[in-house]
Amino acid sequence: MKLEIARGLFLVTALAVATVAVAAWEEPGPVVFSHADQALQCPLPRLVKPQVDAKPDHDLLLLLFGLSQGTRGQS
């Protein structure tokens, strides 16, 4: 195979790969939801009731406080 043909095939292949990569890279931008769009989103089941009796776990709060104190620098 001649060098010019090989270079041409390489260029075409590289452009095809770049085109596929650009097409796959396309991501949707940030979107602001409004109240009108909430009906289109995932609605909550009607049988779900909020939990009123939720109480904080004091051991977990103490652990989080200790971890936050440990990350503070020595001064």
Based on the structure, what is the number of domains in the chain? Answer: 1
The DSSP code sequence of the chain is --HHHHHHHHHHHHHHHHHHHHHHH---------GGGTTTS-PPPTT----S-----HHHHHHHHHHHHHTSPP-
Q: What is the pLDDT at residue 16?
A: 96
**pLDDT, tens digit (0-9, with 9 covering 90-100), for 26-70:** 777 777 766 666 666 666 667 766 666 767 677 888 888 888 887
What is the arithmetic mean of pLDDT over 10-34? 85
Task: Name the residue with higher pLDDT: 73 or 70.
Answer: 70
Task: Name the residue with higher pLDDT: 17 or 39.
Answer: 17
Domain that holds residue 35: 3-72
